[in-house]
């Protein structure tokens, strides 16, 4: 699972049709609170072929590397936290127009 989207790079440049994957999704709760949150880390590559390399080169895309979302324990779709992470990412403006690949 991944997203194809235009990737904003440092310096105001955009890489068209980049390949973005969730590399980590974790549910956290601060001590002494009832609030849960979902932390999502993503990696951006120039395309799927680059991602398939033994040592793929990452695109430096600070606008889309880490995200934090509100979370409730019943949010998971079929207990798949990664699928939920992709769903939540697509609500962010930086992922506007993203398609599943």
Task: Kindly state whether residue 70 falls inside one of the protein's structural domains.
Answer: yes
CA atoms within 13 A on the CB side of 32: 0
Indicate whether 90 belongs to any domain.
Answer: yes
User: How many domains is the chain partitioned into structurally?
Assistant: 1
- Confidence category of residue 77, pLDDT binned at 50, 70, 90: low
Looking at residue 73, its pLDDT comes to 79
pTM higher than 0.75:
yes
Which domain range does residue 62 map to? Answer: 3-94
Supply angle C-alpha 23, 25, 26, rounded to 5: 145
Which range has the worst mean pLDDT, 20-24, 38-42, 53-57, 70-74?
A: 70-74
> Has residue 100 been placed in a domain?
no
């Amino acid at each position: 699972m991944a997203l194809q989207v235009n990737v904003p790079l440092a310096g105001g440049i955009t890489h068209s049709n980049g390949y973005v994957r969730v590399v980590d999704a974790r549910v956290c709760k601060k001590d002494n609170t009832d609030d849960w949150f979902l932390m999502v880390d993503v990696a951006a590559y120039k395309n799927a072929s680059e991602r398939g390399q033994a040592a793929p080169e990452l695109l430096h895309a600070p606008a889309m590397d880490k995200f934090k979302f509100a979370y409730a324990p019943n949010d998971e779709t079929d207990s798949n936290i990664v699928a939920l992470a992709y769903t939540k990412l697509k609500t962010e403006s930086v992922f506007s127009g993203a398609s599943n690949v």
